[in-house]
Amino acid sequence: MVEARSALVQNSHSGDEVREQTAAIVLLSEAASVPAARRFVASMLNLWEGEDDEEVVALLTSEIVSNAVRHAVGDVTVEVTLVTPEELRVRIWDHSAELPVVRQARPDAVGGHGLQIVEALAQRWGVERYPDHKVVWFEAPVRARSAPPLGV
């Protein structure tokens, strides 16, 4: 069972216009948190009337959260921000200051492809290092539910 320690949703307003919408959840560092993080990000995107047509956001979230669960200690925080109706930022932090490394895994290897996938599919991605934790983030295109599918 996945335990969500806390969740927060906030909107940044400028007059009547909502600029950014952000939500975060803190999950236990366990394998079941990977699909829970994916569902959380998808549900927030749905709430904000966005679409992840190619399921890139879901895949990238899974890759980074699984790395955090596998290599770090303590809770994992997932923060999702709808930057614009066409851009989503996901930030995942854990309590390890050790930076992730993009490995050149053999194509037939079972593991080691996660950050290669992130590098290939994210519009942008990076790592922020702090003394007691790190944040791995990515930005990916999404579309407003009322907009035509991406690539059309």
Q: What is the pTM of this model?
A: 0.82
Within-domain flag for 149: no
Distance, CA of 139 to CA of 95 (rounded, Å) = 22
Sheet containing 87-94: give its strands across: 4-14, 17-27, 76-84, 87-94, 134-141, 124-129
| Total domain count, the chain | 1
Q: Which amino acid is at 145?
A: R
Within-domain flag for 152: no
Within-domain flag for 130: yes
With cut-offs at 50, 70 and 90, classify the pLDDT of residue 78: very high
What's the pLDDT at 96? 86
Find out whether 45 and 80 touch, Cβ atoms under 8 Å: yes
Within-domain flag for 131: yes
Structure tokens at 122: 């994210």
Within-domain flag for 97: yes
Within-domain flag for 151: no
CATH number at residue 128: 3.30.565.10
145 contact partners, CB below 8 Å, separation of at least 6? 49, 50, 51
Within-domain flag for 60: yes
Within-domain flag for 25: yes
What tens digit of pLDDT does each residue of 92-142 get? 999 988 877 666 766 655 555 578 889 899 999 999 999 989 999 999 999
Domain that holds residue 99: 4-144
